[in-house]
Every structure is written in structure tokens, then in C-alpha cells.
């Protein structure tokens, strides 16, 4: 508990003791109400002060005003008959118990988010003139060299120039497996260095670093209110004045015809206690706050309640292919020789591509298992849009597409293939072809399966060939695929899918956050995959998955749906109980004690239910 919460707890205990003492005093005279005033002011002086201050500032209809009016009125009923002095004090005490509980629950949620997002480093070890000094990370400039020792947080984004180590990225990605880094590799701020000493060249100032952007994103998530939150705000704006007017009418109109002013004033005051919208005003934002915190624990950053609401309603998920469902790493997936052994065909292709650093060339050399002997290669020519032609051991070797084979006089069939096809000819004779494909991520198939089990349609967009796209879609179990697309084509297709939406469904687009910014912005909810250190992802997307796992998408939707379910439970529960007790109060069937439950009791139960959202990300 905070110091303020401990003080409030002490006041509640003291108020309860004073109330008990007042009840036990055997005096029933006209000044009996004075016995309860110490307990009342001990419990509720701050509520009375806030009500008076808000009235002075023109903010009349809030829960402080309702509690003050109802409890002061309960004391005033002594002028009409027997005053409900113990009930008035107990209502205030119970209200403060509810406020204390609510403050503790919100604090717990904030501490949970703060702990899992405890990324901000306290210092950076700046290397200058052969000496290392501790400085504020905000004082480090781009290009400076910092030293990160074992056990320390990486304070700024940079590139390792010396050393090797493993990094704990759990606070960023939710991934427990350490990540190995060495010279030449980038390291994001917020990670914890586990083993070796690293010398890092700073690539971004602290204000532009990964950790700063993530902290800003989480802290400002509440600014993007969901429809449910906006509904509660608008509801309270009209609801509170309406119930005050209703209470006044209940106190004035019936006595004009039936008499019994004290009885009806008492009912009206009880009506006010019941009407406090605390349960809704507190529990709905707390539910979204808890859901965002639970998602953050899993490395899923949701920028606000409105995006969580859209994600929960998603019935179509559109994926980019490269870097989202696949690793973006090209590997040899098939070797098909004609008139020679597989090893010889692969060696010829690797020799032909030995001079190039193209991704396809690198994949061929990697599959070959070593660096080809460059002394065997001469006369290399790059033939734009077709491939390469070289001399290998005095023979003319061509490696490229079907057009190059036609030029070389080596007849070949194009045929469907799940990837990029590299045809090879030797001295005009066709030697076979090698298929190079992008490798699916290990959990991509499971991610698609999870979405389909939830009744969500899955679509993949790719710039690859139709054969390659369809093969990947079959392998992963996708419902639909659109291939051979330019970036602008992706926007058009998403807009068409959006126009086909019916009912309350929403469309989510999942991309790498770098090349897909226009589509991420156009979808109902844009989700960036593999966004560790990607500025474009954090800026363009509504939801950021901080690692490369497509399976986190299913988890994000599950968390969102559970959070929205909790919000709806709280709304219907609070409105239902209040409507019932308001009706019973108006007819005089219930009194102040049940009113206390309908107000503070419902609030406590709703807050308890809301805290479940914080654990929504747990298995």
C-alpha cells in the first residue's frame, strides 16, 4: 500500500471504532446525531470537501456530490422522524472502503505494467578518451561508444563493435529464450546483458530509442478510448443529473398526495445512494487498463482500448507474406538435375553465382556448404532480368530464368514451383533447375490454425509468383491468397475486403511494419510483426507484436475478447442491480442497507471482476 492508502485505512478503522462507540451509547434524545458526527467526519470529510470544491467549480453532478447529499440528508431525516445516523456513517465508511480497494487495484495494475515494462535504464557507461564514466542516457549522442557490462540494461539502440554476449529480451518481446549477439549485430535498448562485455556504437538518441517509444506507447494507451469507455462517459454525464431530478421528484410529488414527508425524503436519499455510477466509471477503464497490461506482459503492445475492441471483433485477418508468415530468409528447397548428380548441379550454380552477394546467390552458396573456388570462374556477365553467364573450367554455364535458357538454346519447361526457380545450362545443354523458397516461420501454421478455430477468415497478400503464393497458402492452411502484388495493390485489396464486411466484424492487417505502413493504416486494426527496434512499426501500427511469432496474434485476440467480455459483464451487472434496487427503493421495499450494497458492493465486485483482465494473457 502507498502512504496515502495506509492513511485512508487508518481513517476507516478509526471511523468504525467511533461508529461502534456511538451505537453503544445509551442515549436516544434530540442530540443523538451529535454522537455520530465524529465518526462521520473521520470517514468522509474529504468526500464533503471534494463535493464543495467541485460545486464551486461548476462540476456538480459527480459521485462526491451524490454521497454528500445522501449522507447529509440521512442525518437531516431526524427532523422528520427517526434519523438514520448509523446508516449515514456506514454508507460513508463503506464508500471509502470501496475507494481504497479501487485505488489498490489500479495501483496493482500500474505496478504490474511498470514491472513488466521496467525498461528505462538508470545510466549509460560512456567511453571517452580511454575512460568509462556513468552518464544519463539522455546525454549520450549518436556515434558515441558505450560499454554494457553483464547484468546491465542496454541503455540505447546501437550496433555491437566488440564483444559477444546473450541478451534477455523478455521485457520487450515476452520471449524467455536469450538472444545471442556479436560484432556487427544491432542491439535494442531495454534488453539485459547476461554474459560478456559489449562495446556498442549508439545509433539513436535516447528519445528516439526503442525503449523510449515503447514507454511512451504504453503510458499513452489510455488516450485511445474504446466505444465502451466513451459510452460510460456520456452515460454518466446524463445519468447523474437524471437521478438527482428523479430523487427530488420522489421526495416532493408523492407527499403532496399521500403525505408522510419524512418517509419519502428518506426514500429519495436512499435512491441517491443507489444511483452512484461508481461501478461503471471505475471498472470499465480499469478492465481495459488491465487487458493492456496483460497483453504487454506477453510482448503485445496495444495502443488503446479502441484498438483492443476492434481486435476482439476481428473476423478477417490479412497477412503480408515475407517477414510475417515467413522468415524472409531464402533457402534451397529442391534440386532437380537432368543428366547429372544433384551435387554437381548445385556446385555449378554456386560457382556461377560466386561473384554475387544477391540473396539468391547467398542461399545457393550456403546450400553448397562452402565458398566456391573463384579461380575456376571467369568472364562473369550479369544479364539484366535474366540471370548470369560465366565460364567454369572452360565451359559456358548459364544460371537464371527461362528467358536465359531460351537464349542459350537450352530447352526447359517452366512448370509450377513453390519458390524462385534457377535454371542451369552447360554449353547450351539444359542441366536442371534449383528451387529457392522463403522458409515459413516455425509457428506460422499453428497461428493460422488458431485463427481458423476462432472462426476468423485468413488471407495472404504477396508480391511473389502465384505458384509460390498458392504453395505457401496450402502449406500454412490459409483460406485465400492474392499473389503478384505491388504495394498499392495491397491497399486496393484491403479496401475491397473492407467493403465486403457485413455486420460488426473487423479486418486486421498483419505486416512487418516497414513496407506495409499504408495498409496498416487503412485496416480496421493494423498489427506490426517482428517490430523489435522498428520505428515504422511502432508509428504505423495499432498493435505491435514485439517478436517474430505469428502465434502471438491468436493470443492478442484471446486477450482482447476476454477483456471485452469482462467489460460487458460489468456494464450489465452494474446496470441490472442498480435498476432493480432503484425500483425497490422507489416503492419503499428496501432501505439504506441494500442501497449500500447496490452502490459500493457492486463497485467492489465490478472492480474485482475487472482485475481479471490483467491476467488475461496467462495460459
* Digit-coded pLDDT (tens) for 147-163: 999 989 899 989 999 99
Q: How far is CA 301 from the centre of its chain?
A: 3
Q: Looking at residue 83, what is its pLDDT? A: 55
Of 145, 184, 191, 146, the closest CA to residue 164 belongs to: 184
**What number of CA atoms fall less than 13 Å from residue 174's CA on the CB side?**
24
User: Quick one: pLDDT at residue 535?
Assistant: 60
**Band of residue 553 on the pLDDT scale cut at 50, 70, 90:** very high
**Cβ 567 vs Cβ 292: under 8 Å:** no
Sign of CA dihedral 135, 136, 140, 145: positive
Q: Where in the chain is the domain with CATH 2.70.150.10?
A: 124-155+157-203
- Say how far residue 482 (Cα) sits from the centre of its chain: 28
289-326+441-559 CATH pick, 3.40.50.1000, 1.20.1050.140, 3.90.280.10, 3.40.50.620:
3.40.50.1000
Q: Which residues pair with 460 in a beta bridge?
A: 319, 481
Q: What rounded mean pLDDT belongs to the chain?
A: 80
Handedness of CA 301, 304, 305, 310 (dihedral sign): negative
Count CB-CB contacts under 10 A for residue 541.
28
Tell which wins on pLDDT, 382 or 275.
382
* CA dihedral (28, 29, 33, 34) positive or negative: negative
Residue that wins the pLDDT comparison between 434 and 179: 434
Please tell me the predicted confidence (pLDDT) of residue 619.
47
Q: What Rg do the C-alpha atoms of the chain give, in angstroms? A: 34
pLDDT exceeds 60 at position 176: no
pLDDT in tens, 331-367: 888 899 998 999 999 999 999 988 776 677 888 888 9
Distances (CA, A) of 488 to 318, 392, 513, 517: 15, 42, 15, 11
Q: Cα–Cα–Cα angle for 33, 34, 38, nearest 5°?
A: 115
d(CA 128, CA 117): 30
pLDDT for residue 341: 92
The residue-averaged pLDDT of 183-207 equals 89
**pLDDT tens, 20-40?**
998 888 877 777 778 888 998
Residues marked active site are found at: 320
- In the chain, CATH 3.40.50.1000 sits at 289-326+441-559
Q: Which three cell numbers stand for residue 348?
A: 555449378
Contacts 24+ apart (CB under 8 A), 396-400: 396/426, 396/427, 396/428, 397/348, 397/351, 397/352, 397/424, 397/425, 397/426, 398/352, 398/423, 398/424, 398/425, 399/348, 399/349, 399/352, 399/353, 399/423, 399/424
Q: Reading across the β-sheet that carries 543-545, which strands appear in turn? A: 300-302, 543-545, 525-528, 506-511, 314-320, 457-461, 480-482
Second CATH level (architecture) for the domain 124-155+157-203? Distorted Sandwich (2.70)
Question: Average pLDDT for residues 159-178, to the nearest whole number?
Answer: 77
Across the range 521-540, mean pLDDT stands at: 71
Chosen CATH of 329-439 out of 3.30.565.10, 3.40.50.2000, 3.40.630.10, 3.40.1110.10: 3.40.1110.10
The C-alpha cell at 315 is: 473476423
Torsions phi, psi of 61, nearest 5? -90, 85
pLDDT per residue over 424-446, tens digit each?
999 999 999 998 877 888 899 99
How far is residue 412's CA from residue 425's CA, in Å, rounded to a whole number? 10
Interstrand relation of 124-128 and 145-148 (parallel, antiparallel or unpaired)? antiparallel
Strands annotated E in 338-490: 377-383, 387-392, 395-400, 420-426, 429-440, 457-461, 480-482
What crossing angle do the helices spanning 466-476 and 444-453 adopt, rounded to 10°? Answer: 70
Higher-confidence residue: 319 or 296?
319
Q: Is the pLDDT of residue 143 over 70?
A: yes
Task: Find the helix or strand (DSSP H, E) in which 192 lies.
Answer: strand 192-193
Please choose, from the candidates 195, 358, 306, 187, the residue with its C-alpha nearest in 3D space to the C-alpha of residue 563. 306
Return the bridge partners of 200, or none.
146, 160
Report the alpha-carbon distance of residue 609 to residue 286 in Å, rounded: 10
In tens, the pLDDT along 453-491 reads 998 999 998 877 677 788 888 889 999 999 877 767 888
For residue 391, what are the β-bridge partners?
378, 396
According to the model, what pLDDT value does residue 618 have?
58
Weakest mean pLDDT among 92-101, 307-316, 427-436: 92-101
**pLDDT, greater one: 576 or 281:** 576
Span(s) in the chain for CATH 3.40.1110.10? 329-439
Residue 504: CB atoms within 10 Å: 7
Amino acid at each position: 500500500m502507498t502512504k496515502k492508502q495506509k492513511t485512508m485505512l487508518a481513517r476507516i478503522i478509526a471511523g468504525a471504532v467511533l461508529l461502534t462507540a456511538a451505537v453503544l451509547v445509551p442515549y436516544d434524545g434530540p442530540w443523538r446525531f451529535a454522537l455520530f458526527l465524529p465518526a462521520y467526519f473521520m470517514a468522509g470529510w474529504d468526500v464533503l470537501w471534494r463535493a464543495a470544491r467541485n460545486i464551486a467549480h461548476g462540476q456538480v453532478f459527480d459521485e462526491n456530490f451524490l454521497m454528500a447529499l445522501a449522507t447529509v440528508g440521512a442525518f437531516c431525516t431526524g427532523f422528520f422522524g427517526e434519523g438514520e445516523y448509523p446508516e449515514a456513517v456506514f454508507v460513508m465508511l463503506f464508500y471509502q472502503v470501496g475507494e481504497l480497494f479501487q485505488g489498490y487495484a489500479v495501483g496493482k495494475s500500474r505496478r504490474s505494467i511498470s514491472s513488466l515494462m521496467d525498461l528505462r535504464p538508470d545510466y549509460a557507461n560512456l567511453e571517452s578518451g580511454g575512460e568509462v564514466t556513468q552518464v544519463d542516457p539522455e546525454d549520450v549522442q549518436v556515434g558515441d561508444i558505450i560499454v554494457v557490462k553483464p547484468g546491465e540494461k542496454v541503455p540505447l539502440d546501437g550496433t555491437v563493435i566488440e564483444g559477444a554476449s546473450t541478451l534477455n529480451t523478455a521485457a520487450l518481446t515476452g520471449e524467455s529464450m536469450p538472444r545471442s549477439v556479436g560484432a556487427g549485430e544491432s542491439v535494442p535498448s531495454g534488453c539485459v546483458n547476461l554474459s560478456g562485455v559489449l562495446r556498442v556504437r549508439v545509433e539513436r538518441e535516447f528519445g528516439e530509442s526503442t525503449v523510449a517509444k515503447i514507454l511512451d506507447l504504453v503510458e499513452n494507451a489510455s488516450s485511445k478510448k474504446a466505444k465502451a469507455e466513451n459510452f460510460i462517459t456520456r452515460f454518466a454525464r446524463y445519468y447523474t443529473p437524471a437521478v438527482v431530478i428523479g430523487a427530488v421528484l420522489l421526495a416532493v410529488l408523492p407527499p403532496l398526495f399521500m403525505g408522510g414527508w419524512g418517509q419519502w425524503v428518506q426514500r429519495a436519499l436512499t435512491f441517491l445512494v443507489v444511483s452512484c455510477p461508481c461501478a461503471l466509471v471505475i471498472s470499465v477503464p480499469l478492465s481495459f487498463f488491465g487487458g493492456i497490461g496483460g497483453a504487454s506482459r506477453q510482448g503485445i503492445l496495444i495502443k488503446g482500448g479502441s484498438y483492443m475492441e476492434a481486435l476482439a471483433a476481428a473476423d478477417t485477418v490479412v497477412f503480408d507474406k515475407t517477414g510475417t508468415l515467413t522468415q524472409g530468409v531464402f533457402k534451397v528447397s529442391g534440386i532437380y538435375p537432368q543428366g547429372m548428380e544433384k551435387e554437381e548441379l548445385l556446385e555449378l550454380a554456386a560457382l556461377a553465382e560466386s561473384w554475387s552477394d544477391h540473396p539468391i546467390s547467398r542461399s545457393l552458396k550456403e546450400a553448397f556448404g562452402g565458398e566456391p573456388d573463384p579461380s575456376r570462374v571467369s568472364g562473369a556477365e550479369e544479364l539484366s532480368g535474366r540471370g548470369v553467364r560465366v565460364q567454369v573450367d572452360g565451359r559456358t554455364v548459364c544460371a537464371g530464368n527461362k528467358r536465359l535458357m531460351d537464349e542459350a538454346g537450352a530447352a526447359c519447361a517452366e512448370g509450377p514451383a513453390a519458390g524462385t526457380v534457377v535454371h542451369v545450362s552447360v554449353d547450351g545443354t539444359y542441366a536442371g533447375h534449383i528451387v529457392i523458397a522463403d522458409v515459413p516461420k516455425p509457428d506460422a501454421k499453428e497461428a493460422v490454425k488458431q485463427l481458423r478455430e476462432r472462426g476468423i477468415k485468413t488471407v495472404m497478400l504477396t508480391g511473389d509468383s502465384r505458384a509460390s503464393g498458392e504453395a505457401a497458402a496450402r502449406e500454412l492452411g490459409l483460406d485465400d491468397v492474392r499473389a503478384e502484388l505491388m504495394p498499392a495493390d495491397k491497399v486496393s485489396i484491403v479496401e475491397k475486403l473492407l467493403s465486403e464486411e457485413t455486420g460488426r466484424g473487423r479486418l486486421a492487417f498483419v505486416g512487418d511494419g516497414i513496407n506495409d505502413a499504408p495498409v496498416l493504416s487503412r485496416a480496421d486494426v493494423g498489427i506490426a510483426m517482428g517490430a523489435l527496434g522498428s520505428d515504422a512499426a511502432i508509428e504505423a501500427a495499432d498493435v505491435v507484436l514485439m517478436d517474430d511469432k505469428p502465434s502471438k496474434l491468436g493470443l492478442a485476440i484471446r486477450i482482447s475478447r476476454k477483456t471485452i467480455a469482462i467489460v460487458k459483464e460489468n456494464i450489465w451487472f452494474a446496470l441490472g442491480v442498480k435498476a432493480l434496487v432503484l425500483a425497490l427503493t422507489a416503492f419503499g421495499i428496501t432501505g439504506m442497507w441494500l442501497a449500500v450494497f447496490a452502490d459500493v458492493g457492486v463497485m467492489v465486485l465490478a472492480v474485482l471482476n475487472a482485475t481479471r483482465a490483467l491476467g488475461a494473457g496467462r495460459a
